[in-house]
């Protein structure tokens, strides 16, 4: 069964350092999402791509976060510099244009 792949699964970094997460969506899924999830809460959307274009980044803290999906397939989310409050689970999901979103296993980020 096709799955969304994410790496790394866990990341520990010091504040002010740069960190990057990678996501490979389900083959054929044109829409890709990055979410942040704080423990005990539901995921919150950071950015949504349709193919290689950003269609919603209204909740992305653009002073320190960036995301790209250059060829419309895999994607990278970067944080620079990381802050203590960025500690969370970062989830990637993908979908066909209509239908449900399928999530990857996530990257657990700890900023010390």
Partner 1 sequence: GESVGLHLPTLSVQEGDNSIINCAYSNSASDYFIWYKQESGKGPQFIIDIRSNMDKRQGQRVTVLLNKTVKHLSLQIAATQPGDSAVYFCAERGNSGYSTLTFGKGTMLLVSP
- State which of positions 84-103 bind partner 1 (CB under 8 A): 91, 93, 99-103
44 to 73: interface string for partner 1, x by CB under 8 A = xx--x-x----xx-----------------
Q: Which is nearer to partner 1, 14 or 51 (CB)?
A: 51
How many C-beta atoms lie closer than 10 Å to residue 46's C-beta?
A: 21
Q: Does 28 bind partner 1 (CB under 8 A)?
A: no
Q: Which of 82, 60, 78, 81 is nearest to 68 (CA)?
A: 78
Q: Which two tokens stand for residue 42?
A: 């539901």
CA distance 109 to 64: 15
Nearer of residues 33 and 82 to partner 1, judged by Cβ: 33
Q: What are the φ and ψ backbone dihedral angles of 52, each rounded to 5 degrees? A: -95, 0
Q: Does 104 bind partner 1 (CB under 8 A)?
A: yes
């Amino acid at each position: 069964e096709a799955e969304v792949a994410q790496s790394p699964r866990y990341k520990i970094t010091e504040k002010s350092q740069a960190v990057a997460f990678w996501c490979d969506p389900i083959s054929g899924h044109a829409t890709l999402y990055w979410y942040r999830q704080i423990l005990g809460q539901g995921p919150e959307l950071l950015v949504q791509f349709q193919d290689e274009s950003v269609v919603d980044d209204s909740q992305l803290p653009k002073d320190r976060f960036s995301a790209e999906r250059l060829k419309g397939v895999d994607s990278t989310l970067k944080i620079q510099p990381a802050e203590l409050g960025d500690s969370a689970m970062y989830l990637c999901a993908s979908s066909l244009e209509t239908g449900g979103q399928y999530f990857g296993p996530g990257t657990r980020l700890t900023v010390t």
